[in-house]
Structure 1
């Protein structure tokens, strides 16, 4: 069996939401305050027999309206559905454990556990009489907290909740729900033998060579362990006898004080006596780390990350102890569940990946039945499959749930593409509040800086700029297209180049890049086309996805548009660029409003420049100013190297920002389509 889903009503940031789970590992991701921790704690309210069950006023979802509060006392309801696993043995303890909670008898069977935190029926009349006069919602909540919260009770129902059948505690105890939260004190919890966790683990694994020997019968195992325990006890008695002899005179001196104070009376006097078992001796043990060199240090001297790994391995060992029927008999757990909040805490990326493999192996070895992990780590998400991810997103208090694998139900090709290329950098799109997808490194580096020229901080708005490495938006946009019920709900702006192309009307001809002023001017000779992305996701066709590109007439690429909007700004000329002197001369011509012939004369002789000049002459629809800027933009585009130029440009534009409000500041115009994209994404 496995936990197939949970439904949350009026619990924290979940007004009314259902979440589906996988039979195995579930990696729950999302931005801060999306509800990841709340989801795990909701599971614990139902399944953790040792956990706190009473809630406080802040555990209620506060979006409940005043009218709703007036009509009935608020209640929290959390329902967990347990479903039959594939290839499950129906003779196992699983079905017996949930038999009284079944809501579906046919295979695959389903059972439901429901936690409710509510005001008893007998208090309802008084509640309505008190709250009905409230005109302010905050005041109504204060009244509930002060006068009624102490009267609230909790129940865990088994089966259909309308039957109000209390789940029996014996069956609930069969679930071993271990929750390791993000704020943990591993030294307190594991590093001394006095701690229950370490003692239980050591006790279970003591004499493990005997316990795990399949050649011995259970009776033989018990007999041999009994002999070892007796042998230890005899040895311990001898040690205690030696101690008593060493303390003989000292004991008489200590006990003499008892006689003087009157502690000895009625022919009775204090003395020292005792025995020690192998289990009790564990309190003397401390966890150490031994290096290959032979050096031994206490685990308290380790880094936090290393101790976290040790602690989690001990926790999994403890779960193995809890579920061992031959060791605990009828007290053994049937269904061990491990929930870890932010396992990446204090771990560098390589150890995060190693730890994830460790968890998966424990699942395969059936030491734990189901795993829930909440994370902010892009390294973890890039290491798991899309099928194992659950994405939470919270927008203005409304929580939505996305399932990355399910959005590709009818498109296996795109699913494989995204799975392959969703590395640690691209995984950022799953965590951010909103996302801007770009084609290349230049846009990725420069967009946050261009936003600052508009007075906007993308970082403060939790907007990620993700480079998809080309014109591959379509594959990733399946994740966010809210026309699909499984999509992740967040705004996505795509910034793509216009990229006009043409090909000769001849058999076997192929498309090649062309300039904006060449587009459409020789219809008898060429066929033309542009970036097809606009037709896939037309502007206004989706509530949360929009595509932005350069001007339809004058646009070409990102670099081309930068200079097109700043034709005389030599700040954009970087050290790695070619033809700098030539471009500066073109800029000077533009500043003084020179003739088009002057631009032609400055261009050095080349086949490409001849093509540019010829195309300018053929284009009779463009005005002189359009052609002047196009001359500079073309020469600029043909002189830059993508990566190095972007780094230098980012540095130059950043330095210029620090000079704002000084005479050294140079005015820079953000291209229109970039301005539109940034304005839209932050709305």
Structure 2
């Protein structure tokens, strides 16, 4: 059995259905998108493993408010849908079974009302009915443990009665077990042996004498002793401390914060695994990436995804593209704020109409850089590294700071835009997505820093008579124009309210030069190909804009990545005049604007 979705109406800013995958669900999104509200809804709904003290109760503040803080409802509803119930679990959850949703599905609802005195009343219902009360054992079938975002793992693992190790050891050595008796016997023997050591005996005698002298005789006398611990199991396990280290065990205060967090999660998962009275145990972790470097984040996600414990479900919130990209696409729920209200909805990329091939493509390409689209307010998709490097500076030139607008520029490494485009729209990610693509087919080699082996050490590509060797490339572009038209038509078919397609007349570099930027572009070319740059500056002084664009494109086609870096340096100098082509300006302005609505 596992939670498959949370349904919420009137609870804080949550509205609609929020998918939850098993065994791991990753909730991502920008700040204030509602990730923690999903976690809190589960904490209110489910039974805490740590007992009533760990329960989160509804308050008047949990009822939905509008943008100015005025309460908009006196009724809220939360519902959990459980799938994959076994025969035993169906018997236990009989009052919550929902045949309308499937044969092995249960539904648990909570309806809460707020009266005029500010008192909250919550009622629980099960299954398809609106009046079927839920048995206590059904509610207690699902329990949770919560790890807050600001946590002190070392403190939570220190010796004490509330130590998570106590719960684990108590479960592994239940009352009446041989292990429990053996532990108590070891402690008693250790205390007996300790009392035979001369220094311990002398210390105890001196303490006892001074205590006797302080209280003035026998009337107020007490006995003192020195021992390891009370030889009862509960006291023994409460005094056990966790140690960790890469070469030798260390006190947790001497260990790294990240490793302490991993140790703490390991203890919790081990304790949850051995619990036999709950049908499902849920571990709720906010920001598990805290203090973990990217490789450890990746390993943590891979472990949680591959866990074979079917009775434990882990639900995490994250701001980390590393963690989001490490999880399978199906595990990710994107939390989205409405652009016009305070409400939030949930979306899963796996539900955006992708076929198996497109979903596999998205899994491969949703790496740490591209996963940033899950946290963005707008996205610009580009073909290569040149556009990715230069676009933020061009946006500054037209008065739009992409970081301040929440816009991410993503390089898809070619023209395979379709798997990404399916992520955007009113019923998907309700962000504006702009595609900037070339009007001519992409040329080989790809946009990187490597030049062909025939390039001279100085970086200049010239024929023996000093002319640029670009004729073959220009002829090839002419031959491929018809092929590209089909690519362009396919892209343009995606154009709509959430997506715009902006095509260069030819290529990114060609259109930049055509806009009258040929001189600053030659400045950028100079560190790479000084002879070519110097010659073209003279040769193109009286040329047409088209010829200038042709010559500059031919000069940079084998070093586009390096050229983009130099061009970005030139454009960053605001004293240098630089004109932004209209199609790029339109893409920037579109992606920085907001859609009018988000569907539930």
Figure out how many residues of one structure are paired with residues of the other and give that number.
547
Structure 2 equivalent of residue 536 of structure 1:
490
Structure 2 equivalent of residue 317 of structure 1:
270
1:152 corresponds to which of 89, 114, 120: 120
Q: Aligned equivalents of 1:343 and 1:106: distance in 2?
A: 33
1:576 corresponds to which of 528, 539, 546: 528
What whole-Å deviation, never above 9, does each CA across 1:328-367 have from its counterpart, x for those lacking one?
A: xxxx322111222221111111101111122234x3144x
Q: Aligned equivalents of 1:26 and 1:254: distance in 2?
A: 60
Structure 2 equivalent of residue 432 of structure 1:
376
| 2:512 corresponds to 1:562 | yes
Structure 1 equivalent of residue 356 of structure 2:
412
Q: Aligned equivalents of 1:353 and 1:159: distance in 2?
A: 38
1:98 corresponds to which of 78, 93, 98: 93
Structure 1 equivalent of residue 547 of structure 2:
631
Structure 2 unaligned spans of 5+: 443-471, 594-600
Q: Aligned equivalents of 2:206 and 2:484: distance in 1?
A: 101
Spell out the pairing of 1:210-225 with structure 2 (5 A cutoff).
224-225=178-179
| 2:577 corresponds to 1:653 | no
Higher relative contact order (CA 8 A, sep 6+): 2
The more displaced of 223-232 and 343-352 is: 223-232
| 2:433 corresponds to 1:492 | yes
Spell out the pairing of 1:333-482 with structure 2 (5 A cutoff).
333-361=278-306, 363-366=307-310, 368-396=311-339, 397-409=342-354, 411-482=355-426
Q: TM-score, normalised by structure 1?
A: 0.73
In structure 1, the residue corresponding to 2:336 is in which secondary structure?
strand
Conserved? CA contact 2:437–2:502, under 8 Å: yes
Structure 2 equivalent of residue 10 of structure 1:
10
Q: Aligned equivalents of 1:649 and 1:48: distance in 2?
A: 59
Conserved? CA contact 1:393–1:490, under 8 Å: no
Conserved? CA contact 2:283–2:313, under 8 Å: yes
The more displaced of 388-397 and 461-470 is: 388-397
What whole-Å deviation, never above 9, does each CA across 1:477-497 have from its counterpart, x for those lacking one?
A: 112244xx4x22211000011
Conserved? CA contact 1:497–1:531, under 8 Å: no
Q: TM-score, normalised by structure 2?
A: 0.82
Q: Aligned equivalents of 1:306 and 1:48: distance in 2?
A: 28
What whole-Å deviation, never above 9, does each CA across 1:87-142 have from its counterpart, x for those lacking one?
A: x4x1x3x223312222328962332222333125xxxxxx4xxxxxxxxxxxxxxx
Change (3 A) 1:536 1:402: farther
Change (3 A) 1:540 1:446: same
Structure 1 unaligned spans of 5+: 121-126, 128-147, 212-220, 325-331, 502-511, 520-524, 590-598, 600-627, 658-664
Tell me by how many angstroms 1:286 deviates: 2.9
| 2:139 corresponds to 1:110 | no
Tell me by how many angstroms 1:241 deviates: 5.5
Conserved? CA contact 2:60–2:120, under 8 Å: no
Q: Aligned equivalents of 2:480 and 2:522: distance in 1?
A: 34
Conserved? CA contact 2:433–2:499, under 8 Å: yes
Tell me by how many angstroms 1:406 deviates: 2.3
What whole-Å deviation, never above 9, does each CA across 1:398-437 have from its counterpart, x for those lacking one?
A: 423322122245x222222222222212222222111000
Change (3 A) 1:275 1:630: closer
Change (3 A) 1:334 1:515: same
In structure 2, the residue corresponding to 1:667 is in which secondary structure?
coil
Q: Aligned equivalents of 2:568 and 2:392: distance in 1?
A: 10
What whole-Å deviation, never above 9, does each CA across 1:505-561 have from its counterpart, x for those lacking one?
A: xxxxxxx97589x97xxxxx99845443543354895210110123xxxx2100001
Q: Aligned equivalents of 2:528 and 2:106: distance in 1?
A: 66
